[in-house]
Amino acid sequence: MHHNILVPISFDAERDTSGPLKLAQLLSTSDAKVTLLHVVEHIPDYAISYMPTEYMSEARKAIKVELDTLAAKVPNAKGVLVEGHSGRTILDWAEVNKPDLIIMASHRPGMQDLLLGSTATHVVRHAKCAVHVVR
């Protein structure tokens, strides 16, 4: 049983968040802290200049509402929104907050993952705690 669980959340269409959330409930103690973490990737300057000025703030608000909705389904859970590169930022957050387990969803790997790597692969290889990948 775990006391501090990190569940990185991706809102990509092919990611199913129900599996990691159910597993977090199964593997947590009754007083466990569960953090649902979403990483907002940086948008390059050349691309952001074509977007409405309020785009990022409105997107952050919408994502935070989604995170809070998911967190309400898990006892002692809270949503956290951060910005950065997904794999590195998940590991940085884990380094500071010391979860004893990271539970993350993964998609079926394709050729691009063999060449470039995926977020789950990066976290599994470099995390200092246990990582459970749900497919």
Average pLDDT (49-71) is 91
Mean residue pLDDT of the chain comes to 90
CATH code for the domain of 72: 3.40.50.620
**What per-residue confidence (pLDDT) applies to 113?**
54
Give residue 29's domain range.
2-134
Q: Please count the other Cβ atoms lying within 10 Å of the Cβ belonging to residue 6.
A: 27
Distance from the Cα of residue 88 to its chain's centroid: 11
What's the token pair of residue 87? 């794999």
Average pLDDT (97-104) is 97
The structure's pTM equals 0.90
pLDDT higher than 90, residue 87: yes
Q: How confident is the model at residue 45 (pLDDT cuts 50, 70, 90)?
A: confident
Question: How many domains, in total, are found in the chain?
Answer: 1
